[in-house]
Amino acid sequence: MIEMALFFAASCYGLALILDLWRIAQGPTAADRILALDTMVINVIALLVLYGIWRGTAIYFEAAMLIAMVGFVSTVAYCRYLLRGNIIE
Amino acid sequence: MDIIGEILISAALIVSGIFGFVGSFGLVRLRNTLQRLHAPTKATTLGVGGMLVASMIWFYVEKGQFSFHELLITMFLFLTAPITAHFIAKVYMVQHLRGDDLPPSGTGEGWSPYDDAPEDRRTP
């Protein structure tokens, strides 16, 4: 039963990543693209935790934590560059 | 493995998958940028949250020990999601709205992306 639920969740997040990619390619404004990229980071965190459950190891939590931090910093840096033309003033 | 634990893990995984898909589907489906800002918050809170609950129950059932890394990831995401949304909304405002179109801020000062910061009014 857990294998079927894992397969279902993985396919849901795969479809979600494809939809995010469509929004990145299509998105009329830069804010849409940043938002879709941030959503991709969130989906990849969930996929990493799911892969950790599937393989039965706890080593992927560190990778998920690092990706969460890097995704937040990159989103803030991109927004700040568009707002001020500079990242650290 | 305990059958109750298995049912709980499967339910959390399915709820997480559905909410993750709904978040990205709303990102494609909604019409306006500020409306689209609403949808991925479901993926952030309930999607990742359900996945982490499933992981905690799985490690407790399978290995017999609690793991608290998941709570760390959840707390970090809950802290950073409002800041990200605030910055994205500000980018949209600066690029697409003029300062004259906004209602007055009600504080005697302007809105922050368009006007400078007010003077420091603390009494010495």
The interface predicted TM-score of the complex, written ipTM, equals 0.88
Q: Do A46 and B94 touch (CB under 8 A)?
A: no
- Residue B54 touches chain A, beta carbons under 8 Å: yes
**A39–chain B nearest CA distance, Å:** 6
pTM over 0.95: no
Q: Determine what percent of chain B is predicted with pLDDT higher than 90.
A: 22
Q: Does the CB of B75 have a partner CB in chain A at under 8 Å?
A: no
Render pLDDT for A32-78 as a digit per residue (tens, 0 to 9): 999 999 999 999 999 999 998 898 888 888 899 999 999 999 999 99
> What pLDDT shows up at residue B18?
93
Please say if the pLDDT value at position B50 is more than 70: yes
Quote the crossing angle between the two packed helices B69-96 and A30-55, to the nearest 10°: 170
Of A11, A6, A22, A49, the closest CA to residue B77 belongs to A49
Closest CA of chain A from B88, distance in Å: 6
pLDDT, tens digit (0-9, with 9 covering 90-100), for B16-48: 999 999 999 999 988 888 889 998 888 888 999
Residue B124, pLDDT score: 60
Q: Which is more confident, B120 or A10?
A: A10
- Per-residue confidence (pLDDT) for residue B116, from 0 to 100: 72
CA of B66: which chain A residue's CA is closest? A58
CB of B102 less than 8 A from some CB of A: no
Exposure string (b/e) for A7-41, b if CB count within 10 Å is 16 or more? ebbbebbebbbebbeebbeebeebbbbbbbbbbbb
B72 has a chain A CB within 8 A of its CB: yes
Query: Do B54 and A10 form a contact (C-beta atoms < 8 A)?
Result: no
Task: Give the confidence band of B122 by pLDDT, cuts at 50, 70, 90.
Answer: low
Q: Higher-confidence residue: B102 or A14? A: A14
**Mean of the per-residue pLDDT values of chain B:** 85
What is the pLDDT at residue B120?
66
Q: If you measure CA to CA, which chain A residue comes closest to B15?
A: A9
Quick one: pLDDT at residue B104? 80
Chain A residues within 8 A of B21 when measuring between CB atoms: 12-13, 15-16
**What pLDDT, on a 0 to 100 scale, did the predictor assign at position B65?**
80
Greater pLDDT, B15 or B67: B15
pLDDT band, residue A27 (cuts 50/70/90): confident
